[in-house]
Amino acid sequence: MRTRAIVLVWAAATLVLAGYLALELTGEDRRLFLPGRTTDGHHQIELACDSCHSPFGGVRQQACLDCHEEELEAAEDSHGDRKFADPRNAADLERLDARRCVTCHTEHRLDITGAMGLTLPADFCLHCHAEVGEERPSHQGFGFDTCASGGCHKYHDNRSLYEDFLARHGRDPVAAVRGLLPPRSGRVLRDGGERTALAAGEAEATAGLPSAGVEGGASAAPELVAAWAAS
């Protein structure tokens, strides 16, 4: 009799819990099911699980491209699909399947997430470019954890890396250039515990430039403020 009562209580508790979870899953606020905190780059859509995930299918590659494909095309993606469709690069895919965004950008893992949402170790370039120090004397002595932070390489966008220009001006003194806008902070404002995106009003006033009519000041170039706020 006691065993039967325990089974009934267990079954009732299971049904109540299942009903609660089902209600939460079909509701608007599904943060209960987040496996970890969302990065600042994606926190605006963290409640729209279906935007990125397929039921029992993980993250859809096309979901990433729906938001970022135009940027990658404009940047002439340095590590796009065409590079890895080349049979000569097939061995590289065994080390790092760069055809899928989630290989390098795993969401909900802030404990291992670095700049630009990268969740690989900073020396991930080593996987495919281990011989670069021998092939290029100019790269000898550089650590693989400096490729992306040294100001030379960007994984997807190398439009600013012109080797001929660097060869001509590599020893020139650094020009004193004053930017029109302060660098955008990687952090976001918090209002009552909620993360909110920075807006144009948060652009700091630039010394010596007239106000553009933006709350809190800003530069004389409103189009730059708009681009900054949307970045």
Whether the model clears a pTM of 0.75, i.e. scores above it, the answer is no
pLDDT along the chain (231 residues), means of 10: 74 70 62 79 82 85 91 89 83 84 90 87 88 86 84 83 73 64 54 60 52 43 73 65
| 216/149 same-domain check | no
Does residue 139 sit within a domain?
Answer: yes
| 125/203 same-domain check | no
Predicted local distance difference test score (pLDDT) of residue 175: 62
Strand partners, 73: none
| 219/140 same-domain check | no
Reported as type and span, the H/E element at residue 2 is: helix 2-26
The residue segments making up the domain with residue 109 are: 60-169
Q: Which two tokens stand for residue 29?
A: 């606020």
| 72/135 same-domain check | yes
For residues 33 and 49, the answer to whether their CB atoms sit within 8 Å is: yes
Predicted local distance difference test score (pLDDT) of residue 96: 82
Predicted local distance difference test score (pLDDT) of residue 203: 66
Interior/surface letters 124-133, b for 16+ CB within 10 angstroms, e for the rest: bbbebbeebe
| 76/135 same-domain check | yes
The dihedral through the CA atoms of 128, 159, 61, 118 has a sign that is positive
Predicted local distance difference test score (pLDDT) of residue 215: 42
Predicted local distance difference test score (pLDDT) of residue 28: 64
The string of DSSP codes covering 32-50 is GG-SSPPPTTTGGGTT-GG
| 219/122 same-domain check | no
